[in-house]
Structure 1
């Protein structure tokens, strides 16, 4: 087997393994800072995203300065006046200000405006990876 052939195989394997991994690294959920931020967001988001009482599960997917980027899955607590319901979406939180993406055809553009470039691309390309 020639040296050139072995090098070629190594390059192909390197390129293929690089393509199979996501380029965006999620924050480590086992650190106190990430756990604290997810807890803060889970307490904040129901009042901001739901039209009644409910709960949210949150996955912190990034942090930049004072901005937190997360995926929230929120469920309404059904009452006689409010039926059950829920949502699943990426959000940007600046302090206590919550921004959510637009619906329908404006969704992708709004995600690109809300998130840093690499994170927006990852959220649009592989959303299931970010859900809590």
Structure 2
């Protein structure tokens, strides 16, 4: 009787483990390649996201061919309008930067911009992705 329960428990654990998907693997920030791409994005993104001078912090989320996926937090240089910030996931293809739409367009545009598993993380657990 006890053995039958142990077998059932083992099967239940195996089924649950097989159904759960591993967390999305983020790139190793200690890698020279990852550091180089984050530096490239830090230089590129202020003018693209802020429309002018400012500073950005970037977390590379992944790559696919020539596409880079990242989360950027950028602060505009103080000016006549005062300082402002933007924190947004981005897709960068070469020097072309795509960011999600606002409001009701956000979820659908994130799904178009990112691979499926990464899009789910961006939509469901974005707190761990920010730089």
Same fold (TM over 0.5): yes
Q: What residue is the counterpart of 1:47 in the other structure? A: 47
Aligned residue in 2 for 1:65:
65
Task: Give the secondary-structure state (helix, strand or coil) at the position aligned to 2:35.
Answer: helix
Q: Measure, in 1, the Cα distance between the counterparts of 2:94 and 2:119.
A: 20
Match runs of 1:1-132 below 5 Å: 2-13=2-13, 15=16, 19=20, 22-79=22-79, 81-132=80-131
Worse overlay, 114-123 or 86-95: 114-123
Structure 1's consecutive aligned runs of 4 or more residues displaced over 2 angstroms after TM superposition are: 1-16
Distance in 1, matches of 2:60 and 2:77, equals 23
Aligned length: 130
Segments of structure 2 that go 5 or more residues without pairing to the other structure are: none
Query: Which TM-score applies when normalising by structure 1?
Result: 0.88
Q: Give the C-alpha shift of residue 121 in structure 1.
A: 1.1
Query: Relative to structure 2, which stretch is displaced further, 4-13 or 51-60?
Result: 4-13
CA-based RMSD of the aligned residues comes to: 2.0
- Report how far residue 11 of structure 1 moved: 4.6
TM value normalised by structure 2:
0.89
- Preserved contact between residue 26 and residue 62 of structure 1 (Cα < 8 Å): yes
